[in-house]
Amino acid sequence: MINFKEELNNEQFEAVTKGDGPVLVLAGAGSGKTRTLTYRVAYLVEQGVDPENILLVTFTNKASSEMLERVEKILNRYPRGIWGGTFHRIGNRLLRKYATLLGYKNNFTILDREDSMVLLKQCYDELANKNEKSNYFPKAKIIHNLIGFARNRGMDLKDLMGKSYDYLSSQEIDLAQSISEYYARKKKDSNAMDFDDLLINWLKLLTGHSKVREKFQEQFKYILVDEYQDTNVIQDKIINILAVKNKNILVVGDDSQSIYSFRAAEISNILDFPQNFPKTKIHKLETNYRSTPEILELANQSILNNENKYPKNLKSIKSENKKPLFVVGRDNREQAKFISQEISRLIDQGESPQEIAVLFRSAFQALELELELNREGIPYTMRGGIKFFEQKHIKDIVSYLKVLSNFKDETAWRRVLMLHEGIGLQTAGKIFSQIKNFNILEDAIKLLEFKGSEKINNSLKNVLSIFKELVEIKEDVIQSSVKIILKNGYNLYLKTNFENFLERADDLNQMGAFSENYKSVDDFLSEVALTEAFKNNRNQSNVVQVEDGEKDKIILSTIHQAKGLEWNTVFVIGLVDGQFPHRKVYEKHSEIEEERRLFYVAVTRAKDKLYLTYPMVSSRSEDMNEVSTFIEELDESLFEKKGRNEESFDDLPVIEYE
C-alpha cells in the first residue's frame, strides 16, 4: 500500500485523493504539479480503476513517458492499458481505428511540419502563379503558419488575414483562402493528415459520429490533462465532449504562466473551467520547492495587477535569503559589462555556469551581452533562437553595409540583390560580373546597365536607388542606413516573409542604435565578423535537462523558451517600458496581462539569486528610457536597488550579491 499522506504535502494529498468530479488544480511555479498528476494516476489504479479507463493528456511525449515511468515506480508495476500521450498522439490512435468514417483510409500518412510545408508550397505555386497578386503577398511559409493558427483558434482565415495583412486586396485574401482549400483537398486526396488535422478530425469524429462519441465518453471514466492553460480551442472542445458523461475530469495548470497565445493557446480555457463544469472543486498548490521566500514575495506581487486570474500566494519551504537585486546601469553596454563581471564573480565563487541563466523578452536585448561575453571569453549557449548576428534579417542589412564598406564583396552583393523580386542566384552573379568592372560604388549606381526582364530591371533599379541614398549619408551611417533600407521595401519584405516581423524590425532598429558605439562602419563590421567566429557556442535546444553542449556554459534564453526550467541564478534584463512590456501590448488589455505573466514566469525561474536590470538611456544617446511598468508596480521593499540613479551617471560600482 502506498502511504499517500506521507509522500505528499497536504495540498497535493487533497488534490490526489479528492479528485473525483470536475477538479481544477492550480499548480503554482515549482509546486510539484508533475508529482501530483503521477500520484493521482497511481491513486486511481490502486483504488481499482482499470487503466484503460484513464486518459492522461500531456503536451509532450517526454512528459507522458516520464509520468508513466514514475507511476510504475510508485505502484511497482506498469499501468498497462492507460491512454497516455499528447493530444496529437491520442488523436492519431483513435483516427487509425475510425478514419474511414471521415473519408480516409486507416493507413493515412501523417505529414510532419516539413512535409506539410512542401505540399502547401506546391499548392501555393500552382495557384499564386495563376492569380493576380502584389509583390508583397505573403510567402508560402507565412500562409502555412496562418492556416495553422486560424484552424487552432477556430478562426476564419480570411478574417485573420484581413486583420494581420490589411494592405492586401480582397482578391489576395480570397487567393489565400483558395490556397488553404486546395491544400486541404490535396491532403485528403493523398490520404494524409498534418498535425492540425489530427486534432480537428478527432473533434469531427466526436461531434459527427454519436456511437464513437458515446463509446469514449463511457470508456474514459477519468480524464487528466496537464498544462491546461496552454490548450487551444480545439483541444478544449475535445476534452469537454469526452468528460461530459462521467465528469471525472482533473486539469492541472497555472493561469499565471499562460504565455503562448501566439501559438493559439487560449487562457479562457482554464479561467472558464468552473463555468463549463459546475461544482468544480479548486485545489491550489502554493507550496513552492524552488525559490527563496524573497523571490516568491516579489513574484506574488508582480502578478497582482492582472484582473483575469485566480488568486494564489506561493510560499517557499526554503530559509530566508538575500532580496532580489534591481540593478540600474547607464545603457545596454554598461548593463552587459555588469552582468559579465557578476557572472565571472559567481563562477569564481563556485557557481556552475549551467546554473546561471540570462533571460530576455526579445532577442535584440541580448546583443551587447553576447558581444561582452565573447570579449571576456565566457562560454554561453543560446536557447530559443539564433544568436543575434546569425539571424537572416540581420545578415541582410549587414550585407548592405558590407557593400558600402567593400564595393568588391561579391557575397554581400549577391545577398542584397537576391532580396529583390526576380533576381535569383544566376542573375545576381551576372549583375555582379558587371558591377565589379567599376572602380567605385558611385560609378556603378550611375552607369550600370543590365539587360534583363522588366521585373529584373525594376528590381535592380530599386537596389541602386537604395545605395544612392546610402552613400549620401554623412552621420550616423548605420542607424540611418537601417531606416533607409526599411523604408525602401525591406519592411514589407519582413512582413511578407516572417510572422514575427515586428520583433525583427525592432532588432534592426536596435542594431542601428547599438552601432553608435563604433567610430566607423568598418569597426562595426569587424565586431560582427569576430562575433560570428563564436558560432560553435550555439545550441538551440529547448529541452529541460542540461545538454552535453551546455555543460560549463551559461544559458541565454528568451523567456518563452525558459518556461518549465529553473536555475540557481537568473538575470532578467532589459526592463525598459516599450521593450518589456513590448510597446504593442498597450493596444489591448489582454496583451499587457500576458506580458505581466511573462515577467512572472521569468522571475519564478530563479532558485536562489535574482537580478533585474534596467539601462537608463538608449545606447550613447541621452534619450532616457522609462523603467518597465512591471518594476514600477513592485513595492521597493521587495528588492535591493544598486547602481546609478536619475541624478548621477557616476561609474557603476562593483555589486555583490552576498
Active site members? 33-34, 226-227, 257, 605
Secondary structure class of 158 (helix, strand, coil) = helix
Write the DSSP assignment of 466-496 as a string of letters.
HHHHHHT--SSHHHHHHHHHIIIIIHHHHHH
- Whole-angstrom distance, CA of residue 328 vs CA of residue 645: 7
Which CA distances in Å does 260 have to 251, 431, 436, 560, 565? 18, 45, 49, 8, 16
Cell numbers found for residue 393: 534579417
Cell numbers found for residue 649: 551617471
C-alpha count within 13 angstroms, C-beta hemisphere, residue 44: 28
In angstroms, how far apart are the furthest CA atoms of the chain?
Answer: 89
Identity of the amino acid at 87: F
Write the DSSP assignment of 313-368 as a string of letters.
--EESSPP-PPPEEEEESSHHHHHHHHHHHHHHHHHTT--GGGEEEEESSGGGGHH
Handedness of CA 319, 321, 323, 329 (dihedral sign): negative
- Whole-angstrom distance, CA of residue 545 vs CA of residue 217: 37
- Whole-angstrom distance, CA of residue 440 vs CA of residue 380: 41
- H or E, element range at 642: strand 640-643
What are residue 382's phi and psi, to 5 degrees? -105, 125
Write the DSSP assignment of 182-211 as a string of letters.
HHHHHHHHTTEEEHHHHHHHHHHHHHH-HH
User: Which residues make Cβ contacts (< 8 Å) with residue 442, sequence separation at least 6?
Assistant: 471
Chain centroid to Cα 556, Å, comes to 14
- H or E, element range at 425: helix 425-435
User: How does DSSP classify residue 626?
Assistant: P
CA-CA-CA-CA dihedral for 59, 61, 67, 71, to nearest 10 = 130
What are residue 536's phi and psi, to 5 degrees? -65, -10
- Whole-angstrom distance, CA of residue 319 vs CA of residue 317: 7
- Whole-angstrom distance, CA of residue 456 vs CA of residue 458: 5
By CB neighbour count within 10 A (0-12 exposed, 13-18 middle, 19+ buried), where does 319 fall? exposed
What are residue 322's phi and psi, to 5 degrees? -70, 150
C-alpha count within 13 angstroms, C-beta hemisphere, residue 57: 28
Strand order, beta sheet including 83-86: 83-86, 54-58, 222-225, 249-253, 23-27, 281-285
Cell numbers found for residue 507: 532588432
Cell numbers found for residue 516: 553608435
- Whole-angstrom distance, CA of residue 584 vs CA of residue 537: 32
Residue that has been written with the C-alpha cell 458523461 in this structure: 245
